[in-house]
Amino acid sequence: MKAQLGPLYRVCMAMPWDTAYRDRLERARANPGGPASASLLRVQASAQHLADRFEQVAYRNTWGTDLGMRIPEPLRTGADPVRE
């Protein structure tokens, strides 16, 4: 499953870097010593590290059911709260 998701994850992770965060990343790269720039570059590097190694990384249940989190009613039952 991860072998199939990895390429999709990498494509999806590239989207914000190439669109919404493009200008901010360019400014951060031009001034990497600034605190905000350094923070953004660390976040981007961390996210990219995961994307590059997605198939090797173990990840937890995304629903958090092992932590006792409750699945919202519409997701559990398929009900559409907007139409009801």
Interacting residues of 30 by C-beta distance below 8 A, sequence separation 6+: none
Band of the pLDDT at 82, cuts 50, 70, 90?
very low
55: which DSSP letter?
G
Interacting residues of 2 by C-beta distance below 8 A, sequence separation 6+: 54, 55
What is the domain count for the chain? 1
Rg (CA), the chain: 18
Say if 70 falls within a structural domain.
yes
Say if 82 falls within a structural domain.
no
Band of the pLDDT at 2, cuts 50, 70, 90?
confident
d(CA 23, CA 28): 9
Q: Which two tokens stand for residue 64?
A: 């958090």
Say if 8 falls within a structural domain.
yes
Say if 19 falls within a structural domain.
yes
**Enclosing domain of residue 34:** 2-77
Say if 83 falls within a structural domain.
no
| Per-residue pLDDT tens over the stretch 4-37 | 999 999 999 999 999 999 999 999 999 999 999 9
